Each structure stands twice: as structure tokens, then as C-alpha cells.
């Protein structure tokens, strides 16, 4: 309401009780003594409430960031799975267990208890926006993935690392669409499994179309050879399929980073 509206309300009251000395006296007393004090108290109460709200907001944001940094939880949207990264592997994790941890941690910090449910919902929302492809893998994860590919699939570690960078470029959409990687058909079943897991966890289909198993009059300048072992059939460690997200996460490193791990 603007100033004119306030004046009009006051004028209405004065006019209404102009013939009643008692009420008019009470009105004067309210305006002169009670109203200023009441308004000042209202102002202070509002300021205190806003300061408390701001403090809670700051504490909430600080707590959320601290929790997200300390606990490496991720989410697979197509499969609606929560994942926890333990520094070596990504493992499926229960949403109930995550919420229990959030609420238990909040309870230990008394100042945040009034907002515990709002904080819990906010953190779960943040986790659901966190793809495992954005995780920065530890060296143990990289070593596990490379050791699973070498020497069973690739004859050297560098070939295994090169393969991972190809997968990473395909997953991120950064792969040069003009480049074709020619590889032995012996790896075809393995690549089919990788493609299936890629679709299952990330909803990406045909992500690895640049990998071909035969040469079809491709431009020589655009072809790259991807060397694999010449075995008639590859023997893949079954645990690698269980930990396929480790492969995808490891492949998301930049090329220069992936070659730092032995």
C-alpha cells in the first residue's frame, strides 16, 4: 500500500470517530505512543528473522558443498541408479542409505536441524545431476581398467590407453566424425557389450560408430589402426563387466592425463 492509501485509512478512522472523544483519545494515544514502539519492534523482529534465515542459508550451502565434496555419489539417469565411488570402483548404492547419511550428519550439526528435510532434498537433487562421467578417477581406478585390458585385449599398455581415449571422445561427443578406427573383428563381441552398458547407464546408443571391423574404401588419411591381440577369441575378466562404469569413467580423462598412469 502506498503513502496515500495509508493517509486515507487514517483519515477514515479520524472521520469515523470525530464525535467520540474517548475513542478519538485512544486513537491519538495509539498513534503517539503505542504504534511507534510496535513498528520498531516489528522492524527488529523482521531483521532478526532475515538475519537468521541468511545464516541458515549460508550454513546450508556450506554444508551441502562440504557433503558433496566429501561423499562421491553419482547417478545414472536412464537406469535410475545411485552410485558411490570408493576411490577404486563405482558401486550401486541405496538412496535410503544416502538419505540416512545426510540426515544423520545434519543432526550432528544442531543449527541445521530446522532445515534438514529441505537440505536432504537439495542434496539428492544435486546428486541426480552428477553423472559418473564427470568424476575424476583415482590412479587405482585407472590402473585397474588398464590392467583389465592389458594384456588380455591389447598387447601394450599404451594401446589400452589409446583405446580408452577413443571411448572417452565418443562418450563426450568430441570424437572427430571424419576419423575411422579399424580394429580386428575379434573385439566385436567385447565392443557390443561396451555399447550395451553405455546405453544402459547413459542412454547413449551407437556411441562407438567410428570403430569399424572391416575396411570399406575409407579414406586412408582418415583411418587409424587400433591394434588388439591376435587371439581367435578374447578372454575378458568377468569383473570388468561388473565394473564397466570404471571403464567409462577412466575413458573420460584427457589424452594427456591418461598416459600419465602406468
Q: What is the pLDDT of residues 23-53, one digit of tens each?
A: 888 888 888 888 888 889 999 999 999 988 8
Instruction: Give the pLDDT confidence of 111-130 residue by residue, as tens digits.
Output: 788 888 999 999 999 999 99
Instruction: Using the predicted structure, report yes or no on whether residue 246 has a pLDDT greater than 50.
Output: yes
Query: In Å, what is the CA distance from 109 to each residue of 52, 103, 140, 253?
Result: 16, 10, 34, 37
pLDDT, greater one: 2 or 92? 92
In our burial notation (b when 16+ CB lie closer than 10 A, e otherwise), range 175-205 reads beeeebbbbbebbeebeeebbeebeebbebe
22: left (phi over 0), alpha (psi -120 to 50) or beta: alpha
Q: What pLDDT score does 232 carry?
A: 67
The pLDDT of residue 3: 82
pTM: 0.76
Neighbours of 88 (CB within 10 A): 15
Could you read off the pLDDT of 161-220 as tens digits, one per residue?
999 999 999 998 887 888 999 999 999 999 999 999 999 999 988 899 999 988 888 888
pLDDT tens digits, one per residue of 125-161: 999 999 999 999 999 999 999 999 998 899 899 999 9
Residue 130, phi-psi category: left (phi > 0), alpha (psi -120 to 50), beta (remainder): beta
CA distances from 157 to 50, 238, 256 (A): 59, 20, 14
Distance CA 191, CA 99 (A): 36
> What count of Cα atoms within 13 Å lies in the side-chain half-sphere of residue 41?
5
The grid cell for 174 is 568430441
Q: How confident is the model at residue 260 (pLDDT cuts 50, 70, 90)?
A: very low
Query: Residue 115: CB partners within 8 Å, gap ≥ 6?
Result: 56, 60
Amino acid at each position: 500500500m502506498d503513502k496515500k492509501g495509508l493517509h486515507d485509512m487514517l483519515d477514515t478512522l479520524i472521520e469515523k470517530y470525530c464525535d467520540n472523544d474517548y475513542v478519538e483519545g485512544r486513537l491519538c494515544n495509539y498513534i503517539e505512543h503505542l504504534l511507534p514502539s510496535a513498528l520498531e519492534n516489528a522492524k527488529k523482529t523482521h531483521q532478526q528473522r532475515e538475519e537468521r534465515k541468511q545464516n541458515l542459508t549460508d550454513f546450508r550451502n556450506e554444508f551441502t558443498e562440504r557433503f558433496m565434496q566429501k561423499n562421491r555419489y553419482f547417478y545414472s539417469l536412464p537406469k535410475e541408479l545411485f552410485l558411490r565411488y570408493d576411490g577404486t570402483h563405482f558401486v550401486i548404492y541405496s538412496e535410503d542409505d544416502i538419505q540416512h547419511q545426510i540426515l544423520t550428519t545434519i543432526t550432528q550439526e544442531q543449527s541445521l536441524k530446522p532445515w534438514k528435510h529441505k537440505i536432504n532434498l537439495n542434496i539428492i537433487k544435486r546428486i541426480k545431476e552428477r553423472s559418473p562421467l564427470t568424476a575424476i578417477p583415482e590412479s587405482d581406478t585407472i590402473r585397474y581398467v588398464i590392467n583389465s585390458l592389458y594384456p588380455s585385449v591389447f598387447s601394450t599398455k599404451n594401446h589400452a590407453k589409446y583405446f580408452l581415449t577413443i571411448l572417452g571422445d565418443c562418450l563426450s561427443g568430441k570424437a572427430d566424425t571424419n576419423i575411422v578406427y579399424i580394429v580386428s573383428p575379434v573385439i566385436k563381441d567385447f565392443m557390443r557389450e561396451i555399447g550395451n552398458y553405455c546405453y544402459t547407464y547413459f542412454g547413449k546408443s551407437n556411441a562407438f560408430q567410428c570403430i569399424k571391423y572391416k575396411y570399406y574404401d575409407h579414406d586412408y588419411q582418415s583411418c587409424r589402426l587400433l591394434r588388439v591381440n591376435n587371439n581367435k577369441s578374447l578372454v575378458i575378466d568377468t569383473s570388468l563387466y561388473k565394473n564397466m562404469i570404471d571403464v567409462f569413467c577412466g575413458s573420460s580423462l584427457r589424452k594427456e592425463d591418461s598416459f600419465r598412469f602406468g
